[in-house]
Amino acid sequence: MTQFKMHLLVCGGTGCRASESEKLFHNLKHEILEKGLENEVQVITTGCFGFCEKGPIVKVMPDNTFYTQVKPEDAMEIIAEHVIKGRQVHRLLYVNPETEKHVADSKHMGFYRKQLRIALRNCGFIDPENIEEYISRDGYAALAKCLTEMTPAQVIEEMKKSGLRGRGGGGFPTGLKWEITSKSQSDQKYVVCNADEGDPGAFMDRSILEGDPHSVIEAMAICGYCIGASKGIVYIRAEYPLAVERLKIAMKQSVEFGLLGKNIFGTDFGFEIDIRYGAGAFVCGEETALIHSMEGLRGEPTIKPPFPSVSGYLEKPTNVNNVETFANVPVIINKGAEWFASIGSEKSKGTKVFALAGKINNVGLIEVPMGTTLRDIIFEIGGGIKDGKKFKAVQTGGPSGGCLTEKHLDIKIDFDSLTAAGSMMGSGGMIVLDEDDCMVSIAKFYLDFTVEESCGKCAPCRIGNKRLNEMLEKICDGKGTMKDLDLLRNLSHVIKDTSLCGLGQTSPNPVLSTMDNFYDEYLAHIVDHKCPSGQCKALLQYVIEAENCVGCTACARNCPVNAIAGERKGVHVIDQSTCIKCGACLEKCKFNAVFIK
């Protein structure tokens, strides 16, 4: 990287690519060639910067200028102004919404200030398709150190001391897992990286693989060294084409550099990695289901024990960790367990990546030390609620998690505190909800998901979740009874108590947590036949207030089902039997005449 005077880092994450960052990249390259700057300025595509809300992102090094929402046509100006004349393109800088001042350096942005990037350390800094850039940032130093200076037992000890816990959802101590697998006797063992991220609203694993694939490869090799495995397999979602491609490139480069293959760093240790594709089954996040899927079977979980550490892939001892967990490993080896253990809370060390989304200003991928409060995440990093609305709840842990409220905002989040509060860390989805969101509908949304994703093997999950979902639907339709609430609660507990795998054991959490925290909303649906946030279609009516209606006909013209009648300049009326409650009239009315009853 050193021979260039300047580097333009263009975000190549999926979010930014969806906003034409590839075209932007090519335009920048083209401009540089045009201006004959190709020996002085380098343009590279990096992984995700995290600030997806403001993408596409372009970062200029060494001056750390952070451009947001850059369009392909902005390339010429960036080159002409910033690169050639050294003047920042003011209009592309981030604007602090509170002070309304432009901020040039990302370090000073609310979004980044409280973040600490360990797992995401290289995302947005390096070209993920260039192994040399990874190496220049201490890449493969940890592997070298393990192989040449440490015994497997010492590495495992270091991992245990670090306090790293599995980032996939369970929070099982990683070092301990490695130790157990290392003690299983077998001629062949496997290291499996679970990259079948299925939580609807979490994309950290993909971002890591897209932005820093080598960190995962390096960690898998270290794990292989510790447990005595010469083979690794990445089980990745087929819907992640970019991550797959970059992983493949990285694997190829690692082989070329002798960092995968036989006799790595001249030692006896050899390690190779294969890719297996998921095929769209959330339950395959569960390790036994994942292993069956890798074996070409239906991804149904089996009862544990035996644990994969004893009998896993092809009945051989298998260590399964997820992408984010692995991404932490090289840093722990390089900087030491004590350094890592000094970050975070008492029982949860290090950081956690969250996919922050929903009704929040700064949607994106963030990484914070364990123990950060929800308030800091939502209001500082996330920049508060979108459109000045009121915060209502934050859903963590995806379909396994729960909804937390105002009163939970000062909880220092880690594995245990979230569980104690009735939610879950899960894989790190974090969806912020505002006053417009109906909590019964949110619970139903997750149950829809669970019903679709239940494998069908065990009765409580297969049928129980379906019944939960039907009862929620009944409530949303205004047909619920008080008895349904008792049934909902009982069934939720039974499903948690009796389901075979983690999917069913956690699937009622969205129901229980919304019932605990928003009981009034359930009552409103059942007793008053009202949806307080106006989301449940069956419970709402769009009506036109005669006093406000000026007869502009905007509503009638935009009604997709012609349910609105009225003369020009006369009061309009909505025919309730035709109305499909799409809300188009409400959106189009400029006179506040349409309202929800």
The closest alpha carbon to 227, from 263, 272, 189, belongs to: 189
Among 37, 377, 381, 455, which residue sits at the site for other proteins (rule: CB under 8 A)? 455
Q: What is the torsion angle, in degrees rounded to the nearest 10, for the CA atoms of residue 513, residue 285, residue 46 and residue 121?
A: 70
Give the number of residues written for the chain: 597
CB 134, min distance to other proteins, A: 22
Asked if 281 and 289 count as a contact pair (C-beta separation under 8 A), the reply is yes
Q: With binding defined as CB under 8 A, does residue 527 bind other proteins?
A: no
Q: How far is the CB of 64 from other proteins (least distance, A)?
A: 22
Mark 265-284 with x for binding to other proteins (rule: CB under 8 A) and - for no binding.
-----------xxxxxxx--
Site for other proteins in 11-40 (CB under 8 A): 13-15, 17-19
Q: How far is residue 261's CA from residue 243's CA, in Å, rounded to a whole number?
A: 22
Residue 494: count of CB within 10 angstroms of its CB: 13
Element (H, E) at 328: helix 323-335
CB of 466 to other proteins, least distance (A): 5
Rule CB under 8 A: which of 356-385 touch other proteins?
357-359, 363-364
Closest CA to 370 of 340, 392, 398: 340
Taking the C-alpha atoms of residue 409 and residue 298, their distance in angstroms, rounded to an integer, is: 41
Closest by CA to 236, choosing from 227, 224, 247, is 247
Binding flag, residue 239, other proteins (CB under 8 A): yes
The pattern of x and - marking residues 286 through 315 that bind other proteins according to CB under 8 A reads -------xxxxxxxx-xx-x--------x-
Q: Contact between 199 and other proteins (CB under 8 A)?
A: yes
**Segment interacting with other proteins, rule: CB under 8 A, options 51-59, 72-80, 136-144, 523-531:** 51-59
Q: Where are the beta strands (DSSP E) in 418-556?
A: 429-434, 542-544
**In the complex, least distance from residue 549 CB atom to other proteins, rounded to whole angstroms:** 22
Size of the site for other proteins (CB under 8 A): 85
d(CA 127, CA 120): 13
Q: Which two tokens stand for residue 316?
A: 């051989």
Q: Residue 187 CB, nearest distance to other proteins (Å)?
A: 18
* Closest among 292, 261, 584 to 457, alpha carbons compared: 292
Binding to other proteins, residues 575-594 (CB under 8 A) = 582-584
Site string for other proteins, 70-99 (x = CB under 8 A): ------------------------------
Q: Is 563 in the site for other proteins (CB under 8 A)?
A: no
Range in contact with other proteins (rule: CB under 8 A) among 10-18, 104-112, 261-269, 368-376: 10-18
Among 134, 190, 203, 269, binds other proteins (CB under 8 A): 203
- Judged by CB under 8 A, the chain residues 325 through 354 that form the site for other proteins are none
Contact with other proteins (CB under 8 A) among 464, 480, 508, 534: 464
Closest approach, Cβ 497 to other proteins, in A, equals 5
Crossing angle for the helix pair 213-227 and 141-149, to the nearest 10 degrees: 10
Q: Which helix (H) or strand (E) holds 469?
A: helix 465-476
Q: Which amino acid is at 504?
A: G
DSSP state of 316: S
Residue 296's alpha-carbon distances to 267, 278, 314, 502, in angstroms, are 34, 10, 11, 21
Tell me the three state secondary structure of residue 140. coil
Among 31, 53, 179, 414, binds other proteins (CB under 8 A): 53
Site residues for other proteins, window 383-402 (CB under 8 A)? 395, 398
Upstream peptide bond of 306 is cis (omega within 30 degrees of 0): yes
Of the candidate residues 462, 479, 529, 530, the single one contacting other proteins (CB under 8 A): 462
Q: Which is nearer to other proteins, 1 or 582 (CB)?
A: 582
Nearer to other proteins, 462 or 479 (CB): 462
Q: Which is nearer to other proteins, 333 or 461 (by Cβ)?
A: 461
Binding segment for other proteins (CB under 8 A), chosen from 112-120, 122-130, 197-205, 344-352, is 197-205
Query: Minimal distance in Å, beta carbon 541 to other proteins?
Result: 17
User: Which of 117/206 has CB closer to other proteins?
Assistant: 206
Nearest to 444 by CA among 386, 518, 528, 499: 518
Residue 490 contacts other proteins per CB under 8 A: yes
Between residues 232 and 344, which has the closer beta carbon with respect to other proteins? 232
Single residue of 27, 215, 328, 499 touching other proteins by CB under 8 A = 499
Three-state DSSP at 105 gives strand
- Build a one-symbol-per-residue string for 205-224: x at contacts with other proteins by CB under 8 A, - elsewhere: -xx-----------------
The least CB distance from residue 275 to other proteins, in Å, is: 9
Who's near 591: CB < 8 A, 6+ residues apart? 548, 549, 550, 552
Q: Show the site string, 424-453: x = touches other proteins by CB under 8 A, - = not.
A: -----x-x-x---x----x--xx--x-xxx
Query: Phi and psi for 28 in degrees, rounded to 5?
Result: -60, -45
> Measured between alpha carbons, how far is 517 from 187 in angstroms, rounded to an integer?
52
Identity of the residue, 52 or 70, whose beta carbon is nearer to other proteins in the bound complex: 52
CA gap 89, 75 in Å, rounded: 11
Measure the CA–CA gap between 572 and 368, rounded to whole angstroms: 53
